[in-house]
Structure 1
């Protein structure tokens, strides 16, 4: 489960901020805090497959369902958290970066409004392993800029900070729209600039050049993200005849961290 100066991706998956979080949930049987080998491998691989230079700290939070007394559930949730901590250190994860190991006790639910109570309870018998990640290092690439400028040349790439998409989604967030409002004002000031909005993705299967958009269920995520920016700029009165949009899937990687390939760029096509 999951949940950058010259170059930073314009639009990224999910959740990138000054500090990004990635979360892996491990589920336990009723009244148990032991792990099977498959669960143990999954949680260890989750951390080892993350760029170690970006892991600032690890937090481990244990939970239980709402059955039983508070004292017992706090103890059980703590045991679950400790089990995960022991498994991580046993597999070479340095204990000094594990800054929190906490049992949170039970998660209360209202059984009058839960459609599938047993399933809901099973999802509450878990430990959340939270990786606090440092932001990606800044990249310096020729021809890349972080704002619309007066003296661009054809081929310049424009990235904009703080415009992100959630993982697998093409829907603009409120924060992204606020940033695009600023972009629109600059585009209206520099009326001679024409550009293509280019969408990119990363990390797709080897035989797939494009990713699936979870909102539309179609394999055209890079196209949809580029189109979402196009439509919003048009809504902010940027003339459509100055804009085009295109999805490039995973065909234009930057050769850096995969995070940089989850992006949308404005590329100057005419001055």
Structure 2
């Protein structure tokens, strides 16, 4: 690990090519495809830099050093590429834009000084990530959204109804709201305080994970991001005066993706469980 830490001094976290392509490299220990902690932290920083971009495609290429057989190195380089793809998925990046995940095998070493050999081999045990954003970014059509106040004030609400909080969206990998979502949550809290007849469950959702798994919460490093998002809303409503006995919260993992833009799957929904009589 000490050698790997020294190597990071030679790294550039994000490289920009012709202002349209961003690259990042992740480095590995000998014969390993598990991402070292230091490299994992660097990769998460890179993901934070690109998550707001309108990305056209992502390519992931794995490599090994020159030691070992060709067949062994092809397998190892593919495992390294797959490990990086999994991290992208766990952190709510849409797999459909990851167009290449390939193991390229060994990188041959040219004749160099013996003293530099270990350093060069260390730099060859890597995965290269190439991110190509749309340039210029696309003009995305925003779906028409319902007014949350109208939905919650509907006198015909009944148990089993589900309300999608379309304007409450979360930062990728976190249970923190995007700034533009806070006003909607404030409006929702005011209505829920007044409508004491409504009992409900807050359902949290995530984007882009494999096999309907939950995503990783980057703050806690726990795989319970959908639950954390639901609890964020629960805690906020409780703080604003909504009776906790009227509320529950659950994490739905990625069981019910909406399709379309990934950011709309980073959401919460309200399931009405009981509506009492009003005078």
| TM-score computed with the length of structure 1 as normaliser | 0.49
Structure number with the higher helix fraction is 2
Structure ranking higher on relative contact order (CA contacts 8 Å, 6+ apart): 1
| TM-score computed with the length of structure 2 as normaliser | 0.47
